[in-house]
Amino acid sequence: MSAYLAFDFGGTRSRAALFDRDMRLIRRAETLSRVGDGPDIVLERLVNLGKSLNIPEDELVSIGIAAPGPLDTAAGVIIKAETLPGWSNVPLAETLSRAFAGLPAYIENDANLGALAEYHLGAGQGADPMIYLTISTGIGGGAIINGELFSGFGGHAIEPGHMRFTLPTGGIRRWEELASGTALGDLARQQLRAGASPSVLRDIEAIDGRAVGDAALAGDEFALDCLRQAGMWLGLGLVNLLHLFNPAAVVLGGSVMKLGDLILDPARKAIEEHVLFEGFLPESLLRPARFGDDVCLVGAALHARHKL
């Protein structure tokens, strides 16, 4: 019985799981990454996380690793990452391969592996091209084109969160600074400082995206208005993705998507207003992701099986 070992290494939290040949999750473990401890200690922690799964070494075939980018996937190296300050050219694949009997280990951008999971086993099945977006602290994404993960010339596609927009108030921002959970928190804090709108958020000390979302779900008008603004930006970025990829589906995951229509309705409004024509709007275009926190683990296991 073949088994695949999957890692999802993140700036905050790391996960490991064992999958069988049919991509059923057998066992799973999780730990805080504590990346401030530096690459050596953190990688050792990651190895131990994997070992804690009681891997049947004779059944293990290969290892897939989801990691924040930019990566050198061919060399198996994390070049650098915003969520990993001070890290540079860390040989993630080689380290994990060595710890597990020298088995082949493949790294890939975490959002790209999310796309792979949703395309093969999730909400994006049958949709080609398919775009997957994960909207939480930032905005990450992956694209499937002709049934394959699209990664561009250097392996760095797609980085939708880094689309640029100019602001009505001046300045140039990334999409993820306008439409992510972080953006929701920023927007609320700015506008509460600037104006006198009543809101339950005034009683909260550290207003983040989650607080804004919770307030909106409870009917707070100010928070709902923040969601409408971020939703408009979400829609504008989606318009760009539609015009560039003409996807059959955009699968939407990440914590912000838990807000559902509260953020999607304003996004849909912006899409309707700005899309070139209905040819860019196939049926079931926007789809909620099937997988939650495990999406990158599933993608990493799929990747380990595919690459082999």
Q: Name the site residues for a second copy (rule: CB under 8 A).
A: 70, 79-80, 127-129, 145-146, 148, 150-160, 162-170, 172, 236, 239-241, 243-248, 274, 276-277, 279-280, 282
The nearer residue to a second copy, 38 or 147, going by C-beta atoms, is: 147
Report the alpha-carbon distance of residue 97 to residue 63 in Å, rounded: 7
The nearer residue to a second copy, 43 or 280, going by C-beta atoms, is: 280
Residue with tokens 């490991």: 16
Q: What's the min distance (Å) between Cβ of 16 and a second copy?
A: 27
Q: What's the min distance (Å) between Cβ of 244 and a second copy?
A: 5
Q: What's the min distance (Å) between Cβ of 251 and a second copy?
A: 14
> Quick one: CA torsion of 97, 12, 160, 136, rounded to 10 degrees?
140
Report the alpha-carbon distance of residue 50 to residue 244 in Å, rounded: 39
> Quick one: CA torsion of 89, 92, 94, 100, rounded to 10 degrees?
170
- In sequence order, what DSSP letters do the residues of 208-260 get, joined into one string? -HHHHHHHHHTT-HHHHHHHHHHHHHHHHHHHHHHHHH--SEEEEESGGGGGT
Q: What's the min distance (Å) between Cβ of 275 and a second copy?
A: 8
The nearer residue to a second copy, 217 or 275, going by C-beta atoms, is: 275
Residue 206 CA neighbour count, 13 Å, CB half? 1
Length of the chain: 308
Hey, which bits of 46-147 come out as E strands? 60-67, 71-72, 77-78, 105-109, 130-135, 139-145
Q: What's the min distance (Å) between Cβ of 60 and a second copy?
A: 31
The nearer residue to a second copy, 201 or 239, going by C-beta atoms, is: 239
Q: What's the min distance (Å) between Cβ of 82 and a second copy?
A: 9
